[in-house]
Amino acid sequence: MIYNIPFIAVVVMIFIGLYAVLFKRNLVKMVIGISIIESGVNLFLITLGYREGGVVPIFTSAPSEAVKNAPGSMVLPVPQALTLTSIVIGVAVLALMLSLIMHIYKHYGTLDVRKIRRLKE
């Protein structure tokens, strides 16, 4: 249980993000919520790849103990690569969302969801 703290942190981060997206009325806060969910998912991926006592999977002047016991002594590299991809995707989405928000503010003069809802259901 206590060793699962990273996973619980993931869940807490996803909750906080979802709370912000579902219940906050400010567009910027919604975007912050999406960013937090994304960090939670990234943390989830990284946590999946951790092997107890592992070092980075890089052989440039790696400690000889780790090389001798490889691959058991190195953390899993695939989740790190996936997280890298996911971070860049997050930056792109964030850039687009923020520029949309700037335009919405220019048009409506407010960031409150309740006031800008011009599209009918």
Torsion of CA 35, 36, 37, 40, to 10 degrees: 120
For the bound state, the minimum distance from the C-beta of residue 120 to other proteins, rounded and expressed in Å, comes to 9
Binding to other proteins, residues 2-61 (CB under 8 A): 3-8, 10-11, 14-15, 18-19, 21-23, 27, 30, 34, 37-38, 41, 44-45, 47-52, 56-61
Which is nearest to 57 in space by CA: 34, 78, 39? 78
Tokens of 67: 């090389």
Cis-peptide, bond into residue 71, ω within 30° of zero: yes
CB of 26 to other proteins, least distance (A): 13
Candidate residues 16, 29, 32, 116; the one interacting with other proteins per rule CB under 8 A: 116
CA distance linking residue 28 with residue 11, whole number of Å: 22
Cβ at position 77, least distance to other proteins in Å: 4
Question: Which one, of 17, 12, 13, lies nearest residue 30 by Cα?
Answer: 17
* Residue list 55-114, contact with other proteins (CB under 8 A): 56-64, 67, 70-71, 74, 76-82, 84-86, 88-89, 91-93, 95-104, 106-109
Count the site residues for other proteins by CB under 8 A: 77
Element (H, E) at 48: helix 27-48
Smallest gap, in angstroms, from Cβ of residue 102 to other proteins? Answer: 6
